[in-house]
Structure 1
Amino acid sequence: MISDNGAITLSKPRGDGVYNSQNDRIWAANRAAADDHGGVKRKRKFPTKVMVWLGACSAGLTPLVILDKTSVNHEIYIKEVLPVALNFGNKMLGDQWTYQQEAATPHTHQLTQEWCARHFASFMPKDRRPANSPDLNPLDYCICNELVQAMDWGRVQTKLTLIEELKRSVKKIKPEIVLESCNNFSKRLCRVLENEGRYLR
């Protein structure tokens, strides 16, 4: 099972917190023409955000964990996330699975590593995990995109409606997409090695 967490922001214009438009270019004769085609991007300085955690494996997605009360440290991660991952993994995969987390500080903290060693039948310790690459995490290269595409951003007006829409939308991600993206992990790992560690294109 591979896990990831991150923030999804609520800001105007709608969807600004998920889609990164900073590298998009608009070809126009002048600034006014560019503005007519979306050239001006307004952004809130400190948009409302919701921290979420999601795990994926070939058997499906874990329940979505909403972590919106405080910033996530190792204590919150151990208390609220790891039991969800453990229960889901054991229920869906028995004892034949490995837990892989990203390199965020709460994940690499000594107490987190000790908890994982005590509870998971197998887990990828911080010194053995693959490079921190979006090419090696199905949640980064596929599933998060499916999630934001499934969301009805017209319903999202407040933090509460963002949370409700996230919960509704994660259920709409097709199991075959999750299976395919997880099955592609090994192929992508080989491609990264062939590419001498550079990003895949």
Structure 2
Amino acid sequence: MSKVVLVTGPARSGKSEWAEILAMQSQKAVIYVATAVENSEDKEWQQRILQHKQRRPQHWATLEVPYELSATFANAEPNICLLVDSLGTWVANFLEQDELIWENIVQEFLETVELVSADVIFVAEETGWGVVPAYPIGRTFRDRLGHLVRQLAGISQEVYLVTGGHVLNLSLLGSPLPKLKNSHRNRKVTNS
């Protein structure tokens, strides 16, 4: 039986490291699913990507999947563990899509996650703890990611918050809110 795990937290909190530990503990073959798009002109971004590459075991396979996560899940075998790092980067890759297209992407994503045969560990950033961004694209990103993380947490078997280098198992410590009224199960978004 597959297991879906969500690891969330602020930047530089240790969330990716915790997700990597969970992947190792799965005792399955791990495939690291990188959602970042490399940019050779952005040296700082390339350094961040390099740090992630250097930290994970060399025997892990890596897939670069900036857009088609649903297809990756649909083709996953039960004997593997997919570590998706990160949902924030994946959401950012779609920021230019209008709301209708985005909602359809999310619906397909969540439906595919519920049917995945492999274990999947998601890393997601918590972006909504600060002030409301002063620019529209920042608000769109924060709102889309927050909404996605909440919906994904609702179908995950385990949810962790990593902050300040400490891990909290929210599945044991907290109580989930009721499902969102506009969740992917309750509506189909169409162009009509």
TM-score (norm. length: structure 1): 0.31
The structure whose residues are more often helix, as a share, is 1
TM-score (norm. length: structure 2): 0.32
Structure label with greater radius of gyration:
1
User: RCO (CA 8 Å, sep 6+): is it higher in 1 or 2?
Assistant: 2
